[in-house]
Chains A and B, each alone.
Chain A
Amino acid sequence: MSRDPASPARFAVGIDLGTTHCALSVVDVEASDGEDVAITAEPIPQTVSPGEVQTLPLLPSFVYLPHANELEPGATALPWSATPAQLVGELARARGAQTPTRLVSSAKSWLCHPGADRRAPILPPGAPEDVACISPLDASVFYLRHLRAAFDDARPDTPLHTQDVTITVPASFDPAARELTAEAARLAGIEQFTLLEEPQAAVYSWIASQAKWRDALHVNDVLLVVDVGGGTTDLSLIAVRDREGDLELHRVAVGEHILLGGDNMDLALAHVVKAKLAAEGKRLDLWQLRALTYACRVAKETLLAADDDGRDAVDAVPIVVPSRGSKLIGGSLRTELTLDEVRQVILEGFVPVVDAGARPATRARGALTELGLPYAQDAAVTRHLAAFLGRQVDATAGLEDFDSAQPEGATYLHPTAVLFNGGVLKAPALASRLLEVLGGWAEAEGGEPPRLLEGADLDRAVARGAAYYGYVRAGGGVRIRGGLAQSYYVGVESAMPAVPGLEPPVTALCVAPFGMEEGTEAAPAPHPLGLVVGEPVRFRFFGSPTRRDDEVGVTLEDWSDDELIELGAIEATLPEDGHARGEVVPVLLRSAVTEVGTLELTALPVSGDGKREWKVSLDVRDKG
């Protein structure tokens, strides 16, 4: 982004806009020199209980919409505002746990849900009538506003809008979700920012923390980044190649958006314990189930903390669900969670040993499903991983200056190195199970098991890496190249005589090629599309994570479900000026990737003077 070179930003700020938590990290550019970088986590003041403000390392990504009589005026006062317009953070999370109908959570997952109108007040789903609902976009704006205010309050001389900000998004975010994140940042008053994929941020954080990272990562390595967060699992592949004597990192593939994470594991354990209590004739209400889920998370961390040598091993952890009333003794329920149960539920349920040909089970969804988040239907992370690596078997085949040591006849892309991210993978049992499965796949095809990149900070890596990225972006240093992780296509209905009962066949026209880099523009696709003047016209929109060689203008007649994935529709409206309403005007579509990291599609009239152009909206309101 352009910036006055006379007054460079003092700080490179990384914002991890997470599904369950947000974090803020800062690089003091003036105090950093070369690879000696001063990165600090920025604590975030927030309301923790009515009238109490505490500075915590993370901001829980929750908005609570209180009833008018619920909180005293001033109970949510913050250091920078006596009456903040929204309640976000720890108190929002805690209140919402007791009153879920007023709680907005997982807004980020809604942001990339193409079936929902992401600008419409749809959250929380099923709220009572008196709740003033908000949109997924609003929620992101609220979190970013809070982070911005916290930063400005701590550093009034260097407000955030004058600093270099990097905001992370899941690698699996589609163009519309990235665009919405960028819009949220602008609405929150953040001006100079770039978007960065979370797995890449994890790699940057690892690089920043390892003085000798070049000894751990080699030319021709294929690095698999596995990021298991609270609510989502994000996968990326990064190739390491030699460019003019230095290592260059190239992100070659990203996985699908998988709504599966640590919270699912805690809930699964809670249900096991609940069933155990039910067998003893003890029933739990919703409040107790939440307390139980929390207790299960703590127990899970204790039970899975043992390393391969059996250090820190325990066989069972007592679980106590406190009574709700003031009678604590006698009213509390006591049981225990055993290592066997945790291994059965977590290891066998979420990271089972499967072979490389395994694929996630999918259930056919009902035609009219209730509007909700598309949670992963198969809880096995290893099966999602197998599907990803299998789909990406040729991901490095066409890459220049790269010679990966793939075994003969490999059925999936063999990674040679693995980097973990996300607090869930701090548990040695989970991490070693994932490595064991990857190693088993490699051996079955005569390959080498991948090695683990040590020393990653699994909790804070994303915000740290984002701040580091902002720093290297301004000053040089190692960069991960990537560009678009998919090629994009517009669906064009072919002109043919109508056949009753058959939908007209659709061809897919490539409008943006794979790997297109930030700050570049592609030539318009040479096939004109007809737009009706004065009316919004929609096109089907597709992405392909595997068709790497399609150039702009390529048309596909048919494709497999795995090859092209339908995204939300795109929409263009041509204003009436110079044309009659209802007239069909042929336009060309041109794509560009902005410096911020978002895809932009522009409609150019074929017969125009070249000056008129209209933006094509990637985020279309769904009217059901």
Chain B
Amino acid sequence: MANSNPSIFARFFLAIAAYFRVLFDGDFAASVVKLRAGALPADASPGAASERGVPPEPPSAPEPRVERAPADAAMQLLGLLQREGRFIDFLREDVSAYPDADIGAAARVVHEGCKRAIDEHFTLEPVRAEAEGSRVTLDRGFDARAIQLTGQVAGEPPFTGTLQHRGWRVREAKLPKLTETHDVTVLAPAEVEL
């Protein structure tokens, strides 16, 4: 490793990039897990770089520690949900004052718009393809981040149990690119009609 001590600025961007890559690139995440356990990744190859806008970087991961989540992307997503589906408007209202019919009408706007926004920007798939309620068997070495065990958790794998929830996983995320001057803290601009 040539640059063993990147500047704090470089580390900041590395942390953001690594956050997304851990989130969306299973292989990379697995290497990070190994790294955290103290082993250098043996099979780390630069060819594993994905095409999701993450800059190609040396196959190392930052010092494992709890990082602040990148708020910009989160605010951008809130902005998208508000724009397409009036998400913030809906959540910020006091629903107790309205009859169910009114809430239902508004929920249609929110459901239709937020679904459009999510479908547009994320490719989602269930973690497990089996039907809920079916019996599944988990072999040794199953991915504990993608499968949560509940109930009588005891003994050694393989485990057999009932699939209660299929789970969701993001296969691909593509948020709009932002220009430098864009203010992501404005989720929805105020509108003034002249």
Contact = CB atoms under 8 A, between A and B. Distances in A.
Interface of A: 48-55, 72-75, 77, 79, 298, 318, 320, 322, 324, 326-330, 332-334
Contacts of A75: 179, 181-182
Given A54-B177, A322-B86, A328 B110 contact: yes
> Chain A contact residues: over half helix, strand or loop, or mixed?
loop
B177 A79 contact: yes
Nearest to A67: B194
B90 A53 contact: no
Contacts of A327: 89, 93
A79 B53 CA distance: 13
B176 interface: yes
Contact of A72 (B102, B109, B181): B181
B10 interface: no
A50 B176 CA distance: 11
Contact of B105 (A50, A72, A77, A334): A334
B180 interface: yes
Contacts of A334: 101, 105
Nearest to B92: A326
A332 B89 CA distance: 12
B109 A52 contact: no
Given A328-B106, A332-B109, A52 B89 contact: no
Interface string B80-110: 0001001001101101011001110110111
B139 interface: no
Contact of B181 (A73, A324, A333): A73
Contacts of B98: 329-330
A329 B179 contact: no
A332 B105 contact: yes
7 contacts: A52-B182, A53-B177, A318-B105, A322-B109, A328-B89, A328-B109, A334-B105
B153 interface: no
A270 to B, nearest CB: 17
- Greatest chain B CB density within 10 A among A324, A328, A330, A332 is at A328
A52 B93 contact: no
- Greatest chain A CB density within 10 A among B86, B90, B176, B183 is at B176
A416 to B, nearest CB: 41
B178 interface: yes
Interface string B60-98: 000000000000000010000001001001101101011
B32 to A, nearest CB: 29
A65 B182 CA distance: 20
A50 to B, nearest CB: 7
Interface in B99-153: 101-103, 105-106, 108-110, 112
Contacts of B112: 298
Contact of B93 (A55, A79, A329): A329
Contact of A54 (B95, B101, B176, B182): B176
B176 A53 contact: yes
B103 A329 contact: yes
A77 B83 contact: no
Given A320-B106, A320-B108, A322-B109, A52 B176 contact: yes
B114 to A, nearest CB: 12
A318 B112 CA distance: 12
Contacts of A55: 174
Given A75-B181, A329-B102, A330-B102, A318 B108 contact: yes
Contacts of B102: 329-330, 332
B109 A53 contact: no
A298 B111 CA distance: 14
B178 to A, nearest CB: 6
A66 to B, nearest CB: 14
Interface string B154-177: 000000000000000000001011
A55 B108 CA distance: 27
Contacts of B83: 49
B176 A320 contact: no
- Greatest chain B CB density within 10 A among A52, A77, A79, A327 is at A52
B177 A74 contact: no
Contact of A52 (B95, B105, B178): B178
A298 B93 CA distance: 27
A52 B112 CA distance: 22
B176 A326 contact: no
Contact of A74 (B90, B92, B174, B179): B179
Given A52-B179, A328-B86, 19 more contacts: A51-B181, A51-B182, A52-B176, A52-B182, A54-B177, A55-B174, A73-B181, A320-B108, A320-B109, A322-B109, A324-B191, A326-B89, A326-B92, A328-B90, A328-B93, A329-B90, A332-B105, A332-B106, A334-B105
Nearest to B116: A298
A53 B181 CA distance: 13
A77 B177 CA distance: 10
- Greatest chain B CB density within 10 A among A55, A72, A298, A322 is at A322
Contacts of A74: 179-181
B183 A51 contact: yes
Contact of A48 (B86, B109, B176): B176
Contacts of B180: 74, 77
Nearest to A56: B120
A525 B89 CA distance: 71
B49 to A, nearest CB: 19
A53 B179 contact: yes
Contacts of A53: 176-179
Nearest to B103: A329
Contacts of A326: 89, 92
B183 to A, nearest CB: 7
Contacts of B90: 328-329
B53 to A, nearest CB: 11
Contacts of B174: 55
A82 to B, nearest CB: 8
B166 to A, nearest CB: 25
B94 to A, nearest CB: 9
Given A320-B108, A328-B109, A330-B102, A51 B93 contact: no
Contact of A320 (B76, B92, B105): B105
B120 to A, nearest CB: 8
Contacts of A54: 176-177
